Structure 1
């Protein structure tokens, strides 16, 4: 693949612009979110919620994991580390399991909702091409798409070889959702590793989307405990995740390599199994970036590792979204002041 010059980052605002009711608020108020799961979710996130949107949903997931990590491996309630002792894990691991179970259950329900609303959205008058966006899409070399939908192909005929579905897609029936690494404006940290894996060798990583992404792209067949077996069909999402994490064929060195350099070509795994990385991109020395409908914070840990100089960033946002917050995050993320904010409305 030749070096790219123009990169587009696509988020949920892109789908919302085209009349797809894919926001968490729409799902939350639908009949697809069960009342029992909703009740537990509301109790869990009562002190965290700042609004109902897809971005907040991921952010709440991350914050809850962060709280448990602070207690065990970082700050503790009194500013001191409690430590990853066997006794403490017995107390706090069930709490982490519950967080993952609730959010993975919500996600399963959200996917069913999204499939239904996509069908209905095709009758929406905004489910059509936007000439402003079309011109940008026509000139891009690569698109990093954080949505599960095929809007880019359905409306704009963007070739699939230009699109990387970072979190899977409905079309391939492989969407994933997880908590992201801890958002920090200077040094993204990985809470998932520290919370669940005391010695970084016992692979029981639940809910971390970085690991799920690599497993998804490689369609790994696990050594044992695959929940594709008939006896495991009725297991809860969290039980399925436990089986997967505990039997992942990825070596810790390979995982660490992917976390440190997510856009690089993959190395051989310790068992001599080739591991492919669909995020392996041959970046140019200087890059022009367009951001369409993405808040940037929820995937800061990934995007901050783009290994080239970004010379210009253009952010297209909805008029209702906060430009000040976006600008601050973009400056920290792309390490440039050459950033332009534009509201996009229908032409």
Structure 2
């Protein structure tokens, strides 16, 4: 086992999923905490996109879909496809100003088709055509941009409440994620340990199983915030986005203050990445590192271990690495000790997992105790 090294652990949503936590967007979307009924074009876009195909949706796709929504607007010459047309807004404005419209019989007759559409959308309700909306009465008459901005905040608020509930559930102590975390935290040398979590859930429950829990609590950095602080960062990566939609970018969140992960990656000897897609929305955290590690100019050999679920996700990881190394993945392998471990295969073929744990623990009995808690 190497002594006095700097080790960095980076965890993504796949880590929580491996622990048995239901933190996929599918689970959140199907929960009572998801604001599917809020009247914003963004919410409608998400509902329409995933209405019939939730089984194919992964957590990080939500951020991708925020960007896809903006591209849809951009391709429509900046025009937002609102839920309501001008005639519907006129009727809604009349109701908001004057109350129920049941007494305006001539108006109703003249606009019967529009009124029926509003009834079908559950915006108006029978029998008196009262103004009806499950959220704020005034929001529906706000501009679609204002409604989209509020919708994003409602999504964040809903995620926080949903994940607070999920985090209260018992984790799988025998999962590969729990095993890797226990092994990584066996700091019996003078190694420097740094942990970065892209999850909103707290890592403290995992760390609490280690005798070094107090020490590690100070090394955990939440890249996008933590539900314990009632604050999470949700959005797209930096792009050329029209000013009125700046709010969908992570960097425009008032709480955005990412830790110095790029520096720690550059400075580390051993890097473990567990359950992170390395996808485009987080590429700004990884690209500079992988570019350098695949360059023959001043090479600095590192141990890089990536845990992913299965063969399909391994291909996705390699595609991301190809882009971040400027299509030089072979050099990344050649200049580093790089391995990709598929968690679905660890039970039947534990050789790679044991080899990984042996990087930090020499004694075979200790390795067995880590694997079989």
For residue 315 of structure 1, the aligned residue among 283, 303, 306 is 306
Aligned counterparts, 1:179-258, within 5 A:
179-181=236-238, 190-191=239-240, 194-196=241-243, 205-212=246-253, 215-216=254-255
Unmatched segments (≥5 aa) in structure 2:
79-141, 294-300, 348-370
Instruction: Decide which moves more: 328-337 or 11-20.
Output: 328-337
**How far 1:6 moved relative to its partner?**
3.1
For residue 114 of structure 1, the aligned residue among 159, 163, 173 is 163
Compare the two structures and name the one with the higher helix fraction: 2
What TM-score results when the alignment is normalised by the length of structure 2?
0.56
Aligned counterparts, 1:324-339, within 5 A:
324-334=315-325, 336=329, 337-338=332-333, 339=338
What TM-score results when the alignment is normalised by the length of structure 1?
0.59
Specify the alignment match of 1:301 in structure 2: 284
Give per-residue Cα distances to partners, 1:286-339, cap 9 Å, x unaligned.
754321000011311232244983344321012375211111212332565314
**How far 1:342 moved relative to its partner?**
0.6
**How far 1:33 moved relative to its partner?**
2.1
Partners of 1:164 and 1:285 in 2: CA distance: 16
Aligned counterparts, 1:126-165, within 5 A:
130-138=178-186, 141-151=193-203, 152-156=206-210, 157=213, 159-165=216-222
Aligned counterparts, 1:77-88, within 5 A:
none
Q: 1:121 to 1:69 in 2, by over 3 A?
A: farther
Q: 1:72 to 1:44 in 2, by over 3 A?
A: same
Q: CA RMSD, aligned part only?
A: 3.7
**How far 1:107 moved relative to its partner?**
2.3
Whichever of the two has the greater Rg, that structure is 2
Contact 1:64 1:99 in 2 (8 A): no
For residue 172 of structure 1, the aligned residue among 211, 229, 242 is 229
Contact 1:285 1:309 in 2 (8 A): no
Partners of 1:96 and 1:165 in 2: CA distance: 29
Q: 1:211 to 1:54 in 2, by over 3 A?
A: same
For these two proteins, the number of residue pairs brought into alignment is: 250
**How far 1:160 moved relative to its partner?**
2.5
Partners of 2:159 and 2:21 in 1: CA distance: 14
- 2:68 paired with 1:67: no
Partners of 1:313 and 1:174 in 2: CA distance: 31
Specify the alignment match of 1:81 in structure 2: none
Partners of 1:144 and 1:300 in 2: CA distance: 15
